[in-house]
Amino acid sequence: MARFSRSDFTLESFRRQLANVDALPQLCVLGLVSGVITGAVMVAFRLLLEAGAALYMPEGNPEAFEGMEPWLRALLPLVAVSIIGTLLYRQKAAARKLGVGHVIERLTYHQGRFPMRNWLNQWWVGVVSVLGGLSAGREGPAIHLGAAASSGLGLKLRLPNNSLRVLVACGTAAGISASFNTPIAGVIFAMEVVMMEYTLMSFMPVILASTMGALVAQVVYGNEPAFRIPEVALGSLINLPWVVVVGLVIGLLAGLFIHISRSQQLQAWPLWLRLALVGVVTGAVAWWYPEVQGIGYDSVAAALNNQLELKVLLALMIAKLLITAITVAGGVPIGIIGPVLVVGAATGALGGMLGGWLWPDKAADPGVYAMLGMAAMMGAVLQAPLAALMALLELTHSPHMMLPGMLAVVVACLTSRQLTGCEGFFISSVRYGLHPLQQPLMQALSRVSVPAVMERQLVRTERIITPAHARRLLETNPIWLVIERSSSEKPVLALKAAELARWLLEHDEALGGETPPEDELIDLLEIPGQRLEMAPIALQATLSEAFLKLQADTLDALYVVHGYRPKQQRISGIITRDAIERYYHYVDPLSAESRGAEKGTEKSKY
């Protein structure tokens, strides 16, 4: 039986274990804690929405814009954009980045570290945009708030950066799960849209986080499905060609949405004009069709149950799509997944109605097409087919719709990608044809922190030493000598300890048994051997950070700095380019054994 000591359960030991690629138990613990924290944050956010709605919304319902006076609901978007423009745009540009796009950016370029100001801004911007009658969802704020809260846990505990990546995914999944009671869709969304990878080490902690997030939300709100729909079925297979046609139309609409939301012409307008356009257009449409305001889940439920008129469905398909895209292009940071689901459901319902007119005896119920359209639009806009299918399953609790759903989602995704030339909505930058998170090498290196591969056997020494001091340095069998320089402006150098041992051996042979001079000194910069220029890197850094730093500074090695106070920092190890290459390259076991034997011979020689 394995024996454990008290030191195995310390925070420092926990950090060391997390640095490795196989730290699954530790990551699962973090997933559980992250899920509870994110679930509590999501409950707080939903309670905040309900508290705001209680002030002026009919029956305190955040979705009840239809029950308001036309002038009031038309005025709300103008008030909302005025508040956002006044309070948010007075801040620095970096503080105005919110939502899912901000989460992916921080994960890609900042190792999953989130600024506190952005997190605080997300609370009130999310509430104002939804209760202010803009076409906005709550999933964007949910993902940002959950991911940043989970990342904050890792930063508070000073965990290595590779675990921060997993915590961001845990927060994302738990945020979706707690907000919509869709734990499976939360997991798939986190892996497919945010992490952009599927690995066992990430999946299990994310599953636990999503489970805990859903449980926390269910304690408060119960375990009810998002939509209650009657039992429906696709019926005749003659509907499948029509499903393809509906998927094609939805793919084209998804491409239109992405192109408008990224319009460079609109984004070049002055800020006040863009915000005014968003407020005026939303308010004007809301005067006659209040269904375009807010998240719109009440409209989705009505579409699934065939309770919406034709003109309302057309308004949701066209007006809500355009308003949401203009709002994004206008610079208002909103969640887009909720409105996208509404547009897809309306488009699908219209397709189902048209199919009923063409084939009255064979066509499926329009509610069936509303379900399929909802998933197809989400999949096409995000280029996340699995997440869309899981959302379809969990939001409607209709597993028999998965087969036509897969067909509709694939057709819509292909149409959006190939015919309209649109990548996923949140993939805004590419490198060598891939987003940085999609590059296999960077993904592999991001899973491990530098302590897992760094060489710890080193000693620090000054440049000029005596032969006696040199021999004392070699008594501990170090691999590296870290040569400290007289000035901080000069780079720190590393010399193989074997080079010094070889020089001492040759020096003793040259003396022929004679006593060396008492004042003899050794200049470690002058003895034969290769010296590596090094730059510092933090102990929490991942191998991907180390790799990029080596590439950018054209260095061969980095020294790992440990400690959080500048005057108390110490060097914990050295990471070389070869060490990184050995991590991601396959090594022949026989050649590894032969190299190990050679190293053992070399050590015994000195």
H, E, C per residue of 195-218: HCCCCHHHHHHHHHHHHHHHHHHH
Q: How confident is the model at residue 587 (pLDDT cuts 50, 70, 90)?
A: very low
Is 201 inside a domain boundary? yes
What's the CA gap between 55 and 61, in Å, rounded? 10
Sign (positive or negative) of CA dihedral 357, 363, 369, 371: positive
Cβ proximity of 336 and 137 under 8 Å: yes
**Helix 385-396 crosses helix 366-382 at what angle (to 10 degrees)?**
140
Cβ proximity of 57 and 197 under 8 Å: no
Decide if pLDDT at 597 tops 60: no
Q: What is the pLDDT of residue 183?
A: 92
Q: What is the pLDDT of residue 572?
A: 83
Is 268 inside a domain boundary? yes
Please tell me which of 113-122, 390-399, 544-553 the model is most confident about, judged by mean pLDDT.
113-122
Is 232 inside a domain boundary? no
Same domain, 436 and 488: no
Same domain, 355 and 299: yes
Same domain, 200 and 272: no
The radius of gyration of the chain from alpha carbons, rounded to an integer in Å, stands at: 30
Same domain, 573 and 601: yes
Number of H helices, E strands in the chain: 25, 8
Average pLDDT over residues 60-68: 91
Decide if pLDDT at 270 tops 50: yes
Half-sphere exposure of 77 (CA within 13 A, CB side): 32
Is 535 inside a domain boundary? yes
Helix (H) or strand (E) holding 85: helix 70-87
Same domain, 263 and 126: no
- DSSP track, 318-350: IIIHHHHHHHHHTT---B-HHHHHHHHHHHHHH
Cβ proximity of 80 and 132 under 8 Å: yes
Same domain, 387 and 518: no
Q: What is the DSSP letter of 487?
A: S
Q: Give the residue, 488 or 24, on which the prediction is more confident.
A: 24
Average pLDDT over residues 86-112: 90
Which one-letter amino acid corresponds to residue 379?
Answer: G
Q: How many domains does the chain have?
A: 3
Same domain, 431 and 472: no
Half-sphere exposure of 49 (CA within 13 A, CB side): 27
Burial 251-276 (b: 16+ CB within 10 A, else e): bbbbbbbbebbebeebeebeeeebbb
CATH of the domain at 576: 3.10.580.10
What's the CA gap between 134 and 296, in Å, rounded? 11
Same domain, 437 and 457: no
Domain final position from 189, 221, 253: 221
- Sequence-ordered list of residues with C-beta below 8 angstroms from that of 448, at least 6 positions apart, any chain: 19, 20, 21, 162, 542, 543, 583
Which one-letter amino acid corresponds to residue 311?
Answer: K
CA-based end-to-end distance of the chain: 39
Same domain, 243 and 369: yes
Decide if pLDDT at 600 tops 50: no
Percentage of the chain modeled with pLDDT above 70: 90
Is 2 inside a domain boundary? no
Is 324 inside a domain boundary? yes
Give all strands of the β-sheet with 557-562 in edge-to-edge order.
458-462, 480-484, 492-496, 531-538, 557-562, 570-576
Angle among Cα 229, 235, 240 to the nearest 5 degrees reads 105
Decide if pLDDT at 154 tops 70: yes
Q: How confident is the model at residue 372 (pLDDT cuts 50, 70, 90)?
A: very high
What's the CA gap between 370 and 373, in Å, rounded? 5
Domain final position from 385, 408, 441: 441
Helix (H) or strand (E) holding 480: strand 480-484
What's the CA gap between 206 and 190, in Å, rounded? 8
Q: How confident is the model at residue 589 (pLDDT cuts 50, 70, 90)?
A: very low
Domain final position from 420, 441, 462: 441
Is 231 inside a domain boundary? no
Same domain, 465 and 426: no
Residue with tokens 């890197």: 537
What's the CA gap between 280 and 287, in Å, rounded? 11
Give the 3-state secondary structure of residue 540.
coil
Question: Domain of 277?
Answer: 239-441
CATH of the domain at 116: 1.10.3080.10
Which one-letter amino acid corresponds to residue 337?
Answer: I
Q: What is the pLDDT of residue 129?
A: 96
Cβ proximity of 35 and 208 under 8 Å: yes
Same domain, 391 and 463: no
Same domain, 188 and 121: yes
Q: Which long-range contacts (CB under 8 A, 24 or more apart) does 480-487 make?
A: 480/455, 480/574, 481/524, 482/458, 482/534, 482/559, 482/571, 482/574, 483/524, 483/525, 483/531, 484/460
Q: How confident is the model at residue 485 (pLDDT cuts 50, 70, 90)?
A: confident
Distance set, CA 588 to CA 240, 311, 350 (Å):
52, 68, 61
Is 1 inside a domain boundary? no
What's the CA gap between 360 and 366, in Å, rounded? 11
